[in-house]
Amino acid sequence: MRAWSAVVACVVSISGCGGPSDGPTQSVCPPPSDSLLTYDNFGKAFMRKYCVQCHAATVSGQARNMAPAGSDFDTLEGIKARLPNIDAWAAAGPAFTNRLMPPKGEYAKPTDEERQKLGEWLACGAR
């Protein structure tokens, strides 16, 4: 079942099937702790470093490098609006390590450890 949905995702995605990716990570939100990931201590910096160069409401035309219109992660609202997709394209968890984003090319890429944190943060509702 899972293999089948990965195949469907590959066919649908323009960027194709580069690696062991494209599915919901099934990350779980850990119990509250002092190291809880938040927008302020994690999400904002992650998006600024790796995503908003293309995915931002303030970026238009060619500068978006074809990032879809409305797919903007320069605000928490924009991130929440695409939460499951961000998980399936860029986060890592028990089920998948998704490396479709950032796209192939000379773009800064998060480590798998950072992708795992992204999965956790999203699983907690991107607070």
Q: Could you list the residues that contact ligand HEC (CB under 6 A)?
A: 13-15, 50-51, 53-55, 65-68, 71, 82, 85-86, 89-90, 101-103, 107
The closest of 29, 26, 50 to 38, measured between CA atoms, is 29
Q: How far is the CB of 71 from ligand HEC (least distance, A)?
A: 3
CB 13 within 8 A of CB 22: yes
CB 20 within 8 A of CB 97: yes
Residues near 48 by beta carbon (within 8 Å), at least 6 away in sequence: none
Structure tokens at 33: 């702790």
Q: How far is the CB of 84 from ligand HEC (least distance, A)?
A: 8
Nearer to ligand HEC, 32 or 84 (CB): 84
Q: How far is the CB of 112 from ligand HEC (least distance, A)?
A: 12
Measured CA distances, 63 to 59, 102, 121 (Å): 6, 14, 28
Nearer to ligand HEC, 27 or 34 (CB): 27
CA distance 38 to 13: 29
Q: How far is the CB of 30 from ligand HEC (least distance, A)?
A: 21
Nearer to ligand HEC, 32 or 61 (CB): 61
Nearer to ligand HEC, 32 or 105 (CB): 105
